[in-house]
Structure 1
Amino acid sequence: MWYLGSWMFPVISAAMWLGMLLGMFIYWEAIGHPIYPSMDRGQTIAYISDVGAYKLKPLFIAGACVTTVFLDLGFLAERWLRHAGRLAPNTSRAQKVLSVIAILFAIAGSAGLILLSNFDTYHYPRLHDAFLLLFIGGYWFSAIFLCAEYQRLGIHYRSHHILRLSFWVKLTFIIVEFVLAVVFASTSYTGKPNVAAVFEWVVALVFTFYVLSFLLDLLPSVRTSHHQPQGWALKAEMEKAHHGGQQPGAPLTNDSAGPNQNRHVAPGDDLEAGAYRGTSMTNGPGYPAEHNDLGRQKRRGIGRLWS
């Protein structure tokens, strides 16, 4: 059933992540912008980690776990569906290696997010920062390798524009997230915690759109009454091209045996005018037969075909 397909993994992941962020932000707004003990001097805008270090810590942990588990399931499902042929298959070993490396970095990013939610910024500030770096870096590098794979897939399957669209979406995420992360880190370590807190919330929101981008990758594998999985449609296109658009078993031409298929040759017939197969090709009457014009044969692409 199409509505229970793997495309639901990124939807569940993004919904949980966005719901967690909204829940934490609305809570912080509703209780009057409190100043938490983990906040820096002069800081009035709370980090996500500040809100998630106290009463909402269970929500933070649950949101991190559900988000990463279902996102990783989306990574694994994409790899399996491409291997099984429901998505456009990889065309080289390099593409498969890129996909596996992307999955490994995604798992590392998942571990970073789960660990930073458990080791909160109030009780374990150094560990929390280290796991935050692992979370951001893991998914950022994962996106780079996945983007490289899709760039190669898009070149090979030019008719499947969704592969190219997925590549550009992931490339946009790589660039935007890198710029935002640099601004977040620089403002955080230069004594501008309020600016850094705003950019941390923005980085988290952009990550939501990255998770949803996997719909572009997994939806083509869905089978409905009006849609065939991408890999099946591609296989049908290749078979049609291989058979020249004709029914299986039909001859490639109307007369695959040549123009003289049904011609009866009697002994002594003059076949020079008909260029019948088996006749030596010479430079003309009176020229010795042993000096066949091999250069002319090669120029016309004949070679040894007539021997």
Structure 2
Amino acid sequence: MWGVSYWVFPVISALCWIGMLMGMLIHWCVDGKPHYSSMEPTQNIAYISDVGAGSLKPLFITGSCVTTVFLDLSFISERWLRHNGRLVANTSVFQKVLSLVSLFFAGVGTVGLICLSIFDTLRYPTLHDLFLLLFIVGYVISAVFLCWEYQRLGIHFRQHAVLRNSFWIKLAFIFIELALAIAFAVCNFKYNYNAAAVLEWAVSFVFTFYVLSFVYDLIPAVKTKGAPFNRSTEMEQEANDPEARAHDREGRFTADSERTLAANDIRTTSGTKAPVGRNF
């Protein structure tokens, strides 16, 4: 089976994040959906920040810290495993730069999330909004550069479905989060606070799936435990990928066709082979 490996980092991160969100949402509902002092007069649905600014602030801070720490460990593990050959290795310095830039912006998102949980919307509304922006922008930009890296890797390693699938998963996250974040900002500016609150919860829940996508990225390292990524591992993964097999058959067919054409271009004359003249 999978065994305990680096993939547990994003699992812990996702479970902590979704547990925190569900705990805060259930608390607000069970408590009779109170109108917190940080809420606007016309607002009936609480933001995550409103719930986290009250008695559940310790949960908000702890959940945010644990989530981001283990998510960052997932980023670092991915970079380390790729560097050591436990995952498909980068083929250029440019790919490594993309990975490091992605890691940097993940750190920016980490700072944003931890700080927005500390500087709550009740006591520090301006700082809270600033760190909220930092959190969203940081992780979205990080995902962009990670997608870019996977796209470049996929060009060289078409046989690895993990790279291709992870690219599309993270790209979907980027578009969904951007759409939700823009809608959230528009609703806020138009003072439609209830819709904005729903969108904020949606943005946060979608983030869970992005965190879980790293489980998919890190699972292949289980097969290379104790040994670097080698050709046998590559052939095994290729054998399990129908698209890669089709691509390989196409390549072999092309090579065989070229050899056949080359063979037809020669003829035997007096026991020796001479090239046939071509008409242009």
TM band (smaller chain): 0.7 to 0.9
Report how far residue 111 of structure 1 moved.
0.5
Larger radius of gyration: 1
Q: Give the Cα separation in 2 of the matches to 1:67 and 1:82.
A: 23
Report how far residue 190 of structure 1 moved.
1.0
TM-score (norm: length of structure 1):
0.75
Q: Quick one: which amino acid aligns to residue 19 of structure 2?
A: G
- Cα deviation code 1:114-167 (max 9, x no counterpart): 000000000000000000000000000000000000111111111111110000
- Cα deviation code 1:187-206 (max 9, x no counterpart): 01111000000000000000
State whether residues 119 and 128 of structure 2, in contact with CA within 8 Å, keep that contact through their aligned partners in structure 1.
yes
Aligned to 1:190: 190
- Cα deviation code 1:46-75 (max 9, x no counterpart): 000000001000000000000000000000
- Residues 193/108 of structure 1: CA separation in 2 closer, same or farther (3 Å cut): same
Q: Give the Cα separation in 2 of the matches to 1:232 and 1:208.
A: 32
1:178 partnered with 2:178: yes
Report how far residue 223 of structure 1 moved.
2.8
- Residues 181/5 of structure 1: CA separation in 2 closer, same or farther (3 Å cut): same
Q: Quick one: which amino acid aligns to residue 217 of structure 2?
A: D
Structure 2 counterparts to residues 1-307 of structure 1, below 5 A: 2-223=2-223, 231-233=229-231, 237=235
- Cα deviation code 1:182-231 (max 9, x no counterpart): 0001101111000000000000000000000011110011138xx99882
Report how far residue 234 of structure 1 moved.
5.8
Kindly, what percent of the aligned residue pairs are identical? 59
State whether residues 84 and 228 of structure 2, in contact with CA within 8 Å, keep that contact through their aligned partners in structure 1.
no
Structure 1: give runs of 5+ residues left out of the alignment: 239-272, 276-280, 282-295, 300-307
- Cα deviation code 1:1-59 (max 9, x no counterpart): 95321000000000000000000000000000000000012100000000000100000
Q: Give the Cα separation in 2 of the matches to 1:223 and 1:160.
A: 14
- Residues 230/175 of structure 1: CA separation in 2 closer, same or farther (3 Å cut): farther
TM-score (norm: length of structure 2):
0.82
Moved over 4 A (4+): 227-230, 233-238
More helix by proportion, 1 or 2? 2
Aligned length: 245
Q: Which has the higher contact order (CA 8 A, sep 6+)?
A: 2
Q: Secondary structure at the match of 1:231?
A: coil
Q: Give the Cα separation in 2 of the matches to 1:154 and 1:8.
A: 25
